[in-house]
Structure formats: C-alpha cells, structure tokens
Amino acid sequence: MTKNGKCLWIVETLLRTDGLSLRELNDRWMQSSLCDDGRQLHERTFARYREFISSEYAIDIEYSPSTNKYFIENADEIRDNALYRYLLSAYRIADLNTMAIHHRNRLLLEPTPTGTQHLSPLLQAIDRGATVLFDYTSYYDVERLQHWELIPCFLRIFEGRWYLIAEYMDHSKAKVFALERISELRIGSNLMQPVRVTDAAVYYADCFGIIREDRAPSLVRLWADREQRCYLRAQPLHESQREVETADDHSLFEYWVRPSFDFYQKVLWMREKVCIVSPDSVRGEMAAIVGRMAAMYGAAPQGSGTR
C-alpha cells in the first residue's frame, strides 16, 4: 500500500466520523483490506502522514486534547471539492481490489477512462513548466496526422475520457485535446508558462462538459418528472443546480450555464423525462435538434444507408 493510498484512507475514515483516537483509527486500519502488511499506524508514522496530508492535499487533521481524538478541520470544504471527491472515490475502488478478484464474476464494470498512460508525463511537464510535443488525430479529419508543440495548462476528465487543455506557443488561444487520440507524446525542451489559461476553474466557469463556449451563461430552467427529479437530486446535472419548484408530479430545476453540445446531449440522454422550459433561445435550439432527429426517423429507410 502506497503512502498516498494510506493517507487517502485516513482522510476518508476521519470524514465518516466526528473524530477518532489513534487507537480507534488503528482498529479500523487493521480491519481494512488495504492493510496488507498487518502493521499498525504508529504515532510517529501517523504524525508524518498528517504533515504529508496537510502539505500535499491542503487538508488539516486537528487534535482535540479534551477528547483525545483527531478530526478533519475543513471537512465541508473537502466534501464539496470535486478533486477530493474524485480521489476519495478512486481510493474506495482500490479498497475493493482484493474482493473484486474473488467476485470477478459478480461485478460488471464500465471501461476504464481512456488515455491514462499520458497522465504522468503531462503532469511532469506542467510541474517543470515545459512544453509537450505529440501527434494527434482528430475525428473530424482522421486521414491527417497533426503535429503539435504546446504549453500544457491542465487536465480534465469528462464522461470517461481524459482531456488536455493546452495553450498555443504564441499564447493566442487554448485548445482541447482528447488523450486517447494522442501518440508519440514527449516533454519538450522549451520552458514556457501559460498566459491565457492560468486557472482551470475560471476557464470553465459556468460551462458544461469539455466544450468551452464563448457565449454568456444563461439561466436555464428544466422540467423533470417525478422519477427523474430523484436522479437529479442524487447527482446534480451541474454544480449550479437549484430546485426552485416542487409539485406532486414534477420539479423545476435552474442552472446558470453556457449551453453547449455536451449540455444538449446530456439533456437528450434523459429522453422525455425532462424538458427545457426557458429561455426561449435554449428551448428553441433543443426543439430544432429534436426536430432533426424526428425527421431522420420519419424518413423511409433506404437499404444499407439506413440510419
């Protein structure tokens, strides 16, 4: 078990409680499938892990002398942070490794995120402030192999795919690249820092998905039926989601978002269980998409060209 794995286990375990003594923490550690060496967390080792967690994850583990217990100081911030949630989710999956092998015929898994082999060198380049060089194939022009040297800004995962957001060498614009379509990746010798894209959260503010629209965000209202609203409550469509009206058979949700291809695709995924109510421009765009789809299905099939 790596140090990162143990530290994430400590964070996850403390987040589930109001605080634990070192003995209580050790009791849980010894029962965990991640405890592969059968060794307890000694006081000095735990102190080093606390320092590591504070410096690397910006998570503070405090100690209460009155209760002799350790607890997470900024617990709410961690629960609301997407990166922390992703790391903790990855830890939970890792915790299933041993059991998954024994129950491999009883677990059906989705394909793993693509392009993960490129994550480490890209993060190394970002840490060094170095450019990256790679070949790239666009699905819109599969016959042409593109050659790029760019300034890596940050990485993002969306719908099971990893993406690189990188800046042109002249800083004129930023572009999104799917890691699964990258080949011959190498770290360049040029040391350059991004200028246009320095904050991932700012770059994708009010966006939905991997496509960053330049248009201003809109207040979008979505109608959802009785069943679908439960799914939206459990897993919000967007971080801006608010339930603004609740009736017996439906709810209305509001989103402050820049409508994009990814947004319309996600709404379509929920079929007739939802409907865009406003604004008229977004509702009209969705109606046009549905109209084009209806026309395709209404046309008479023509041999092998049937869609």
- pLDDT of 61-76, one tens digit each? 999 999 999 998 877 7
- pLDDT of 217-245, one tens digit each? 999 999 999 999 999 999 999 999 999 99
The count of domains in the chain is: 3
Distance CA 154, CA 57 (A): 17
Do 181 and 136 reside in the same domain of the chain? yes
Do 96 and 140 reside in the same domain of the chain? no
Predicted pLDDT of residue 220: 97
Minimal CA–CA distance to 14: which of 101, 66, 79, 58? 79
- pLDDT of 95-128, one tens digit each? 565 566 666 677 777 777 788 899 999 999 999 9
pLDDT band at 286 (very low <50, low <70, confident <90, very high): very high
Domain assignment present for 302: no
Single pTM value for the model: 0.71
Cα distances from 260 to residues 96, 179, 202, 208, 279, in angstroms, run 36, 21, 17, 7, 14
Domain assignment present for 172: yes
Determine how many CB atoms are found less than 10 A away from the CB of residue 94: 17
Q: Return the CATH number at 176.
A: 2.30.30.520
Domain assignment present for 111: no
User: If 0-12 CB within 10 Å is exposed, 13-18 middle and 19+ buried, where does residue 284 land?
Assistant: exposed
Are the C-beta atoms of residues 9 and 97 closer than 8 Å to each other? no
Tell me which residue range forms the domain holding 188: 116-203
Domain assignment present for 197: yes
Do 65 and 125 reside in the same domain of the chain? no
Are the C-beta atoms of residues 225 and 162 closer than 8 Å to each other? no
Bond from prior residue into 113 cis (ω within 30 degrees of 0): no
Distance CA 243, CA 239 (A): 12
